[in-house]
Amino acid sequence: MKQSHLFTKTQKENPSGEMSINAQYLIRAGFVDKLSSGVYTLLPLGLRVVKKIQDIVREEMDALDAQEILMPSLHPKEIWETTGRWNVEEMYKIENEPYGLGWTHEEVITPLMKKFLLSNKDLPKAVYQIQTKFRNEPRAKSGLLRGKEFIMKDLYSFHENQDDLDDYYEKVKEAYFNVYRRLNLGDVTFLTLASGGTFSKYSHEFQTITDAGEDVIYICHKCKIAANKEVAGGTCPQCGNSELEEKKAIEVGNIFKLSTKYTSPFNLLAQNGKPLVMGCYGIGITRLLGTVVEVLSDNKGVIWPKSIAPFAVHLIQIDGGSIDVVEKCSEIYEILQKERIEVLYDNRSEKTAGEKLNDADLMGIPLRIVVSQKTLAANSVEIKARVEMEASLVKINELVNYLKRNV
Amino acid sequence: MKQSHLFTKTQKENPSGEMSINAQYLIRAGFVDKLSSGVYTLLPLGLRVVKKIQDIVREEMDALDAQEILMPSLHPKEIWETTGRWNVEEMYKIENEPYGLGWTHEEVITPLMKKFLLSNKDLPKAVYQIQTKFRNEPRAKSGLLRGKEFIMKDLYSFHENQDDLDDYYEKVKEAYFNVYRRLNLGDVTFLTLASGGTFSKYSHEFQTITDAGEDVIYICHKCKIAANKEVAGGTCPQCGNSELEEKKAIEVGNIFKLSTKYTSPFNLLAQNGKPLVMGCYGIGITRLLGTVVEVLSDNKGVIWPKSIAPFAVHLIQIDGGSIDVVEKCSEIYEILQKERIEVLYDNRSEKTAGEKLNDADLMGIPLRIVVSQKTLAANSVEIKARVEMEASLVKINELVNYLKRNV
């Protein structure tokens, strides 16, 4: 894509009223726009990143044999009355109409599955969706980390008995870590013990360490797990270790053995007449967008992991009015497109070299290619990875091969 | 995908309370589930179709140089007060909170573009989204044709002057017809003159002829266009022809020259100080799902066009307990998967041949391949297109080549 075509522009100044780094950078770089507190528009670059996060999550869910569906946001009052959750503070209700907006979907998925899970042969089954959720959030102040409207992946699994749920639950844990690893968050994301509700001792959160986090976790470096405030009593609940490290963190996922909490009120029963055993598993997609920015950025801007970068390559034309540079750079742009390398081409003529390089750092595309009269004099382009300090020259006739190895 | 794995099941009986063919077939075939009046869940098969419709629409929008974004549903009251539309009956409002749910997005996109369209060099620009809309619809009785919650593509374009809008508007018309043609609706979809509002004589609807439609249009076969009730005064508004054919139809798109209706209140101005000229263009994605079913079905079920069918091939194993058939059919399934031909494999052992063939007709996958002891005796499979009456035998070793020509 040509940058002159992109309708968004970068901003030098931090947007007023945004305290979080993720919102500041994402707005300044033109990835999102704030409509109101906790409510953001995904602009073209931001939507590209979100789609890539969704694709990674989707692949990991499909690998768990989960089937994708899309449930509505407009929920009739009666399903929430069935479980006694109609009057919770999270729920936005529609004025003068018997609807609430979905902030989670147990009340939809359970009666839905009751129509299809008719015998033990139909078990186990798992379904998920990637969908927009709404949550009445009075203090939405952390940018994309905590919104009133946000995109979430929610997975639900249904089992004949507890053992089968336990097995599946362990597989989901692995899949979640795959997601965080693929987003370069693996090293700073901890499986975290949390309170389990009526039916199991613990549930599990996935907490990513960042000063922007609103949670506090206690890490046991022996077990390589953490405990949240609810369950950490000064020692590791798993091994008793009392040397725990306290860290601020953001919850990027949670998994929960619901057991029969929802299958019982909706009478979703196995052939033996007992309620099915159920698990639920959430990942905040737009929260991950914000988390990646919080964790993987420096004082110049964002540093996208290759897996979710909006483009693989940022091609920057520094022409100073030189027709040679414009022609050569256009040519390289065409070649990269033909090779199906995703490229953003900064062909803007009204910007200085310094402005373009600053924008490139702010936008955080993994690989920057600069074409100027100086590089052309050496039949080369200048290549720099966003994560590195040093640039190097690569001959133009070797560029495609270089990129195929490094993109 | 193996049909035994799919969690949905077909239903023989029509769902109670659904009067429309599209809802009856889509529910019976396991494509959608009704949560409440006008509110549906997309099940795995339905979601596959919707994604393909979205991809077609996305390709046509990208070809118009429109840039994809994703705007929120939760709209602050003040933007709707700016245009005097806060108290319209379409809008669901949130109880005790200053938000309404988006049923259209002029009030979001116009102030958003004001941040980026700073000079004439930034024009023209067009942006679109594929997004869930909410609309207070007291009479939601036509299945997927008219919902309280539905998926829509909305495109907005911004221009320096009327001529530029006029040019773009014509290109959008072409793109819309491309969409309908690609969904096999081209022959029954008419460009339809509708009232234009303050700023232009006509707007345009795209109306697809079907008895399920809630609109009435008047077709001029000389001009190959139609007029809706608002503007048809017994003669064709274009050529004066008085031999108009009256037909029931469903509106599958509309395009509108908004001129300065929204750019003026939001002060989105060109360099000369005049408000920009704006167009808006909508296509109902889930409405198209319902329309395709209404138009392209017979008394046995749906007939999906190849372009949006959930799978290209329905592979049906009629084994009667024969291990040979199961083995051979599994082998064919693996081969088709390796060849990246999308296949639903009906490997269910508990269903009779008749039940399987009825389900295949109901589900409407374009090409049916039956493997039985009889076909294997001739080293063959039986192939039948959903649109045709006659089946034919194809040698197994010629199958892949046959499919490459016919899928």
The one-letter code for the residue type at A407 is: V
Residue A13 lies in a domain: no
Residue A44 lies in a domain: yes
CA nearest A150: which of A230, A35, A241, A273?
A: A35
Of A39, A41, A99, Cβ closest to residue B112: A41
Mean pLDDT across chain A, nearest whole number?
96
CA nearest B154: which of B195, B116, B109?
A: B109
Taking an 8 Å cut-off on Cβ atoms, the answer to whether B50 and A43 are in contact is no
Same domain, B289 and B377: no
Q: Report helix, strand or coil for A399.
A: helix
Same domain, B98 and B176: yes
Per-residue model confidence (pLDDT) at position B64: 98
- Give the Cα separation of B326 and B320 in Å (integer): 10
Q: Which residue of A has its CA nearest to B157?
A: A7
Span A122-170, pLDDT tens digits: 999 999 999 999 999 988 889 999 999 999 999 999 999 999 999 999 9
CA nearest A193: which of A135, A144, A251, A140?
A: A251
Cα distances (angstroms) measured from residue A401 to each of A107, A346, A365, A368, B255:
53, 22, 19, 16, 46
Task: Answer yes or no: pTM beyond 0.95.
Answer: yes
Beta strand B149-159 with A244-259 is: unpaired
CA distance A242 to chain B (A): 46
- Give the Cα separation of B37 and B142 in Å (integer): 10
Beta strand B244-259 with B202-209 is: antiparallel
- Give the mean pLDDT of A353-372: 98
Taking an 8 Å cut-off on Cβ atoms, the answer to whether B112 and A73 are in contact is no
Ramachandran region, residue B234 (left: φ > 0; alpha: ψ -120 to 50; beta: rest) = left
Q: Report helix, strand or coil for A308.
A: coil
CA distance B253 to chain A (A): 22
Structure tokens at B370: 């039956």
Q: Which residues of A touch B108 (CB under 8 A)?
A: 35, 41
- Give the Cα separation of A220 and A207 in Å (integer): 13
Taking an 8 Å cut-off on Cβ atoms, the answer to whether B92 and A94 are in contact is yes
pLDDT confidence of B356, banded at 50, 70, 90?
Answer: very high
CATH number at residue A159: 3.30.930.10
Taking an 8 Å cut-off on Cβ atoms, the answer to whether A68 and B122 are in contact is no
CA nearest B125: which of B266, B278, B337?
A: B278
B21-28 and B285-295 helices, crossing angle to 10°: 90
Same domain, B259 and B330: no
CA nearest A1: which of A365, A358, A352?
A: A365
Residue A174 neighbours by CB under 8 Å, 6+ apart: none
Same domain, B101 and B225: yes
- Give the Cα separation of A62 and A172 in Å (integer): 11
Per-residue model confidence (pLDDT) at position A85: 97
- Give the mean pLDDT of B332-353: 96
Over pLDDT 90: what percentage of chain B? 92
CATH number at residue A401: 3.40.50.800
A21-28 and A285-295 helices, crossing angle to 10°: 90
The total number of structural domains that make up chain B: 2
Last residue of a domain, one of A243, A271, A298: A298
Same domain, A292 and A354: no
Residue B262 lies in a domain: yes
Span B67-116, pLDDT tens digits: 999 999 999 999 999 999 999 999 999 999 999 999 999 999 999 999 99
Residue B303 lies in a domain: no
Same domain, B342 and B210: no
pLDDT confidence of A16, banded at 50, 70, 90?
Answer: confident
- Give the Cα separation of A398 and A400 in Å (integer): 6
Beta strand B125-134 with B202-209 is: unpaired
Same domain, A60 and A101: yes
Taking an 8 Å cut-off on Cβ atoms, the answer to whether A47 and B39 are in contact is no
Give the range among A65-69, A160-164, B235-239 with minimum mean pLDDT.
B235-239
Same domain, A204 and A337: no
Taking an 8 Å cut-off on Cβ atoms, the answer to whether A93 and B93 are in contact is no
Residue B15 lies in a domain: no
User: Half-sphere exposure of residue B7, counting CA atoms within 13 Å on the CB side?
Assistant: 27
Same domain, B219 and B322: no
Per-residue model confidence (pLDDT) at position A86: 98
Residue B16 lies in a domain: no
Last residue of a domain, one of A298, A330, A350: A298
Best of A10, A64, A73, A74 to substitute, by most chain B Cβ atoms within 10 angstroms, is: A74
The owner of tokens 């439609």 is: B213
Per-residue model confidence (pLDDT) at position A106: 98
B44-63 and B162-182 helices, crossing angle to 10°: 140
Span B31-75, pLDDT tens digits: 999 999 999 999 999 999 999 999 999 999 999 999 999 999 999
Span A186-238, pLDDT tens digits: 999 999 999 987 778 899 999 999 999 999 999 999 999 999 988 888 899 88
Please determine, for residue B265, whether its predicted confidence score (pLDDT) is greater than 80.
Answer: yes
Residue B14 lies in a domain: no
- Give the mean pLDDT of A369-376: 96
B299-334 per-residue burial string, b: 16 or more CB within 10 A, e: under 16: eebbbbbbebbbbbbbbbbbbeeeeebeebbbebbe
Q: Which residues of B touch A39 (CB under 8 A)?
A: 72, 74, 76
Per-residue model confidence (pLDDT) at position A189: 98
Same domain, B391 and B294: no
Q: Which residues of B touch A64 (CB under 8 A)?
A: none
CB A362 within 8 A of CB A25: yes
Q: Which residue of A has its CA nearest to B97?
A: A92
Over pLDDT 70: what percentage of chain B? 100
CA nearest B214: which of B287, B136, B135?
A: B287
Same domain, B363 and B294: no
The owner of tokens 């709404």 is: A134
Q: Which residues of B touch A88 (CB under 8 A)?
A: none
**Class of residue A106 by CB neighbours under 10 A (exposed 0-12, middle 13-18, buried 19+):** buried
Residue A386 lies in a domain: yes
Structure tokens at B108: 């979001």
Same domain, A368 and A399: yes
User: Cα angle at A129 between A123 and A133, to 5 degrees?
Assistant: 135
- Give the Cα separation of A266 and A138 in Å (integer): 31
Q: Which residues of B touch A69 (CB under 8 A)?
A: 41-44, 47
CA nearest B348: which of B334, B359, B364, B363?
A: B359
Q: Give me the domain span that covers residue B294.
A: 21-298
Q: Report helix, strand or coil for A243.
A: coil
pLDDT confidence of B407, banded at 50, 70, 90?
Answer: confident
Per-residue model confidence (pLDDT) at position B141: 83
